[in-house]
Amino acid sequence: MTKILAKEVAAKGVTANVVAPGPVRTELFMAGKDEAFVKKVAERSMGRIAETTDVAPVVAFLVSDAAAWVNGQVIRVNGGFA
């Protein structure tokens, strides 16, 4: 769907990309989860749950002029989460 949108709006100078984060330590993610579950999730990536500050720079890049040639991409920001 991202690639279709990207092609539709490219002629107008608009890019369309997706940031696909893995688990991020937010109030919503942490709600109702015990430490054992959080530890298992952390072990499936780089040994910790992401912080919003891990994802924000990727979003900032995509909205900057530096990303003008990035279009139709799904960028996984997940610490290798599997």
pLDDT, tens digit, 9 for 90 and up, residues 30-50: 999 999 999 999 999 999 999
Region 12-33: mean pLDDT is 97
DSSP reduced 3-state for 18: strand
Query: Candidates 3.30.390.10, 3.40.50.2300, 3.30.530.20, 3.40.50.720; correct CATH number of 2-77?
Result: 3.40.50.720
Region 58-68: mean pLDDT is 98
Region 19-25: mean pLDDT is 97
Please report the pLDDT score of residue 82 as a whole number: 83
Asked whether the predicted pLDDT for residue 70 surpasses 90, the reply is yes
| pTM (2 d.p.) | 0.87
Asked whether the predicted pLDDT for residue 59 surpasses 90, the reply is yes
Please report the pLDDT score of residue 27 as a whole number: 97
